[in-house]
Amino acid sequence: MSMSDFDKVLQTAEWLRERHGPAPETAIVLGSGLGEFTRVLQEGVACAYSDIPHWPASAIVGHVGELVVGAIAGKRVAALSGRVHCYEGHPLQTVTFSVRAIARYGVRTLILTNAAGGINVKLNPGTLMLIEDHINLIGSNPLVGPNDERFGPRFPDMSEVYSKRLRDLAVAAAADAGVPLARGIYLAVHGPSYETPAEIRAFRTLGADAVGMSTVPEAIVARHMGMEVVGISCISNAAAGVLPKPLVHDEVMDVARRVRGEFSALLEAIIERL
């Protein structure tokens, strides 16, 4: 008999407990090019995703593929350096497995980060944007299929996916750290092709400020399991049609490297206040 998703999550959570001890209060998922943040952690204990039972391994440039548990600002934190995406061919249940596992491990607060294209013309590359809400245009939902009540309810409420308490805390933290922080709506698409200029115009009409290929499935699953979520996008490029030039992944990586200092300062300031 094959193991249920719940049993796999239990097994992974138990492995994390044996390896790292009690769960940290907070976990951070690091998006494209943002994985360097793990170096800021003190006494970090790293393990490759490939060593963790049932954990999906990341294969995209800019995603290291390791879990690091360490301390920052005197608080224990788990940092997930890299994630898997549905455009790699994974079902959304696989994409969100790591979030389920850390929630079951005992993590209560989840900081989701990503590199995103700027739809709002005021968001220049290098801007950090606090996600106020999201629009899911991936074409599916990680909760599709039979619902296991041990994870959460069949119809979870999504009226406040990104916690207002944590958003207010992030705004205050950014001000104290002297890091400019924009705010906006994140729209998720399936990928892997970048969006067309016509799609970007449509997304702008829908009220989206930034577009990416991740984060939303993880946020949905985190809320399903009762975690408190905050999201930060690093605007890595202007979306298609905003500027008269093609989009390349290298640019995404370059901008992420450029804002590393500000990004780390912001995360540190947020964690200090949690």
DSSP string covering 162-194, please?
B-HHHHHHHHHHHHHHT---EEEEEEEE--SSP
DSSP 51: G
Residue 32 has pLDDT above 90, yes or no: no
Rounded Cα–Cα distance for residues 23 and 38 (Å):
17
> What is the mean pLDDT of the segment spanning 16-20?
97
Least confident window among 59-68, 94-103, 130-139, 141-150: 59-68
Rounded Cα–Cα distance for residues 60 and 116 (Å):
15
Position 63 scores a pLDDT of: 59
Rounded Cα–Cα distance for residues 225 and 204 (Å):
31
Rounded Cα–Cα distance for residues 72 and 77 (Å):
7
Band the pLDDT of 48: cuts 50, 70, 90: very high
> What is the mean pLDDT of the segment spanning 241-262?
85
Answer CATH for 5-273 from 3.30.360.10, 3.40.605.10, 3.40.50.1580, 1.10.3720.10 = 3.40.50.1580
> What is the mean pLDDT of the segment spanning 131-135?
98
Cα 261 to Cα 81, 160, 168, 215: the distances in Å are 17, 29, 22, 22
Q: CA geometry: angle at 41 spanning 254 and 233, to 5°?
A: 40
Band the pLDDT of 53: cuts 50, 70, 90: very high
Is 0.75 surpassed by the pTM of this model?
Answer: yes
